[in-house]
Structure 1
Amino acid sequence: MVIIEDEPAIADNLIHVLEMDGFKVCWFAAGELGLAYLTENSVELVVLDVGLPDVNGFELCKTIREFSDVPIIFLTARNDEIDRVVGLEIGADDYVTKPFSPREMLARIKLRIKKMTSHKGESDNKQTTENASSCSLQPLNFDYCINGHMLGLTAVEFKILHKLINESANVLSREQLLVAADIAPSASYERNIDSHIKAIRSKLKPFNQSEFIRTKRGFGYFYSESDI
């Protein structure tokens, strides 16, 4: 596990709790040092501060997402709603504000690792489904692949598309898609699902499959390859 946090006291408290629970932790006080480590090593999870001395944590998150789907939890003193929304939209899996309880953070970390392990098991063990085989759209390394080309989905986009495909017989509400993306449903964030759907459609468009994600006005979204 990697912690990228420039305040030693905060890092020390969190490291103590994590190591007592059996985690091996690497701590970096600067973003570039943490990024260099992540490009060379596979880790279970990243705890990332936003206000780092050398780089903005949001920008660092976007850079990490270019090559890794490792769970990322933001740890920051910035508690404005817009910061939370931005953090989740660019690919973070959770957002914790300071001051925080190290025990609560430990629980959140374990939950994210458990969810990621579960998703990985599903992807590794999943055979080509009827939906996937007809269009060569298959899950691979927490992304979707079409005829050998990766879509380049963010973590949130992958979870939304994965849910839509796996429940293609059902119309899913925005709230259901938020839950599938591991985001706590809220009226303020619910409409952002539309932005994620738009982004997914845009990435499917070059393969002539954007229309497979369909809108049921007044209800939500569903996935279908059939002519309706």
Structure 2
Amino acid sequence: MAYEMAVSDQTHILIVEDDPDIAGMLVELIKGNGFEATSAASGSEMDRLLARHAFDLIVLDAMLPGEDGFSICRRLRASRSIPILMLTALREDIDRILGLELGADDYVTKPFNSRELMARIKSILRRASYAQEPEEDRAPMTFAGWRIDPKSRQLHDADGAQVSMTTAEFDLLLAFCSNPNKVLTREQLLSMTHAGSAGPVERSIDAHISRVRQKIEPNLKDPTFIKTVRLGGYLFASKVERLP
């Protein structure tokens, strides 16, 4: 059963949740905070809605019947950059981090606190809005043949091919390129990527960095660009040049 509102210029959030009680509660919660909300009970219903409407964020339950949330997240990330917040009842940290490694922007564990859920939704939406703002004073940068453009929010490899990135991944790489050869702590990276106090936990930084490495590192077992600094954080070990 889908709970749906008429389309308008408001921020529109898609909830993918098979439990009708939870879905209905989430719709009312999100509507009560001034957003539009639509729910889908499965991946196939989600696909039909995505084909008809533009959404600003997806709240995705991990444990769905049929295609689960992890598979849906992986599939969405292959073709879309829409922000994803995962809901999971899983208690193991490695399972919660899995969603982030597959491309989710953040996660909340069930049973969740409504205020925390809305804080995380608003934090993700803020980061997405920052990503859309023009940055006329930010020139493109290059490193080892790669090109990152803060204005267009695009990354191109040495052959000129565009590499798809989520908002969180791009923000992390931009933070590194803006601070080459400097040790950045997880707290600094959270701040630089507009996460704020309601953003992803520190461990999520590790998961997002893992995904950035998968896209730019020639050898994941021996990273060339993003170096882990024991007890310190991370360091971007490359010469970065700004283009005129």
Bin for the TM-score computed over the shorter chain: 0.7 to 0.9
Equivalent of 2:214 in 191, 199, 218 = 199
Whether 2:235 is the aligned partner of 1:225: answer: no
Match of 2:156 among 145, 148, 172: 145
1:224: Cα distance to partner? 3.3
SS of equivalent to 1:99: coil
Which runs of 5 or more structure 1 residues have no equivalent in the other structure? none
Partner of 1:68: 80
Aligned partner of 1:29 in structure 2 is: 41
User: Is 1:160 aligned with 2:172?
Assistant: yes
Match of 2:135 in 1: 125
State the match for 1:8 in structure 2.
Answer: 20
1:108, CA displacement in angstroms?
A: 1.5
Match of 2:59 in 1: 47
> How far apart are the structure 2 equivalents of 1:197 and 1:50?
23
Instruction: Please list the CA deviations of residues 94-129 of structure 1 after superposition, one character each: whole Å capped at 9, or x if unmatched.
Output: 1111111223212221111011101221xx324562
Question: Would the aligned equivalents of 1:48 and 1:74 in 2 still touch at CA under 8 Å?
Answer: yes
State the Cα distance separating 1:58 from its structure 2 match: 0.5
Deviation at 1:191, TM superposition (A): 6.0
Verify the 8 A CA contact 1:78 1:97 in the aligned structure 2. yes
1:135-178 deviations in Å (ceiling 9; x for gaps): 54324765413475212334543232111112236332455446
Secondary structure at the counterpart of residue 183 of structure 2: coil
- Offset, 1:197: 5.3
Unaligned runs of 5+ in 2: 1-12
Say how many residue pairs are matched: 216
Contact 2:30 2:118 in 1 (8 A): yes
In terms of fraction of residues, the more helix-rich structure is: 1
Moved more, 140-149 or 47-56: 140-149
Q: Which amino acid aligns with 2:214?
A: A
Q: Percent identity?
A: 30
CA distance in 1, matches of 2:42, 2:240: 50
**How many angstroms does 1:75 deviate by?**
1.0
Distance (Å, rounded) in 2 between the aligned partners of 1:80 and 1:214: 27
Aligned residues of 1:175 and 1:190 also touching (Cα < 8 A): no
Higher RCO (CA < 8 A, seq sep 6+)? 2
Give the match's secondary structure for 1:3: strand
Structure 2 residue 115 is the aligned partner of structure 1 residue 107: no
Matched, 1:172 2:190: no
Distance 1:126 1:168, change over 3 A: farther
Q: TM-score, normalised by structure 2?
A: 0.74
What corresponds to 1:84 in structure 2?
96
Give the drift of 1:36: 3.0
Q: Is the 8 A contact 1:174 1:193 kept in 2?
A: no
The structure-2 alpha-carbon separation of the partners of 1:191 and 1:137, relative to structure 1 and needing over 3 Å to count, comes to closer
TM-score (normalizing by structure 1): 0.78
